[in-house]
Structure 1
Amino acid sequence: SREEEAEKLFDSIRERKLNLDVLICNSGISRDSLVLRLSGQELDAVLDTNLKSAFYCARQAARLMLRRREGSILFTSSVVGLTGHEGQAAYAASKAGLIGLAKSLARELAARNIRVNALAPGWIDTEMTRGISREKMPFVPMQRPGRPEEVAEAALFLAGSKSSYITGQVLQIDGGMVM
C-alpha cells in the first residue's frame, strides 16, 4: 500500500531482466462498520490495502508490459463492489474503485495488447466467511458457497491466452447471487 514499496518490488524485476506476463492484485481487508461509526483511520486502511496497493502495482506492471506490448492485469474486486452492502461502505467503495480502475486502465492499455479485467467473487468459502452464520449469508441460487479453486480457475482464464480478446470486463463468480 506504499508507493515506494511497489517501486522497489518492480525495480527488482527490472534489475533481474525478467519479463512480467501477468499481475494479479488480490489483497483485501475489511473494516465492517456503519458509515456513521467508521473512523477515518479505518477507511484509510481499507482504501490503502484494497485500492491504492493495486493502483501502485498496476502502474509499475504496465510500465514493464508496455515494453513487450503484451500482458494481463487482473484485480480481485467483489460483488459488494457492484451492489454495496450495509456495514461495508469502505470495503464496497474500495472494490468498486478496483472496477473503475480496471475499466480505465483497460482503455489506456488496450492498443498495446495489455488486457485489464476484474474478478467479482461472491460468497466464497474462506476463513473470512466461515465465521458468518448461514442465515446472514445472501441468497445464492446455486445454494452453496463458491470454492477458492473456482475463483482461481476464473483468474487463470482471464490471465491466459484463451481470453486474449477480453479486456475491461468484470467476471462475477457468485453462483448467481447478483444477476
Structure 2
Amino acid sequence: MNSLSLTLWAAVVLLALWLAWTYNRLVSARNAVKEGWSGIDVQLKRRHDLVPLLVDAVGAYARHERGLLERVARLRSRSVPDLEEEAELSRGLEQLLAVAEAYPDLKASANFLSLQRQLVEVEEALQLARRYYNGAVRVYNTLLESFPTLLVARRFGFTPARYFELPLATEARPPEVKW
C-alpha cells in the first residue's frame, strides 16, 4: 500500500468518524428538546389537575361566578391544549384567584391556601421547564445552523425546533396569588 492510498484511507475513516460524532450530537440535542417539552407537559398536567380543586373550592363560595368557573373548567378539560388555550387558562386562573379575594372565609381556608401554594409551585416549575426547553432548542438550532454541522443536519433531515413563546407578553408571569 502506498502512502497516498493510506492517507486517502485515513481521511475517509476520519470523515466517517466525524459524521458519526456530528450525527450523534444532533440526535442528543434533538432528544434534549423532546425531554424539555416533556417537562412542560408534566407541569401543565400538574396545573390541570389543580384546576378542578380550585374551581370547587371557589365555587362553594362564589356561585354567582358560574360563567368564570365553567370557562376555567372547560379550558382545563382540553386533552391537548395549545399555547393560546394555556394563556387563556392562565388568565382564567388569575380571575379565579381574584374572585377568591372577595371571600374572607375562603381566603382563610387551609385547603384553599394549600391549593394556592401548590399553584404557585406548579407555575414556578412550569417557568423552569419552559426555560430548560428553550435552552435546549437554542443549543439544537445553533447546531443545525452552524457550519459544518448543518451539512449533516440537512442530509439527515433534522429540522429546527420552535421556541416556547406565549402569545401575550403578560402571560410570561405566573398568576398572582395574594395571601
Structure 2 length-normalised TM: 0.27
Structure 1 length-normalised TM: 0.27
Select the structure that is richer in helix.
Answer: 2
Specify which structure has the bigger relative contact order, considering alpha-carbon pairs within 8 angstroms and separated by 6 or more residues: 2
Larger Rg: 2
Select the structure that is richer in strand.
Answer: 1
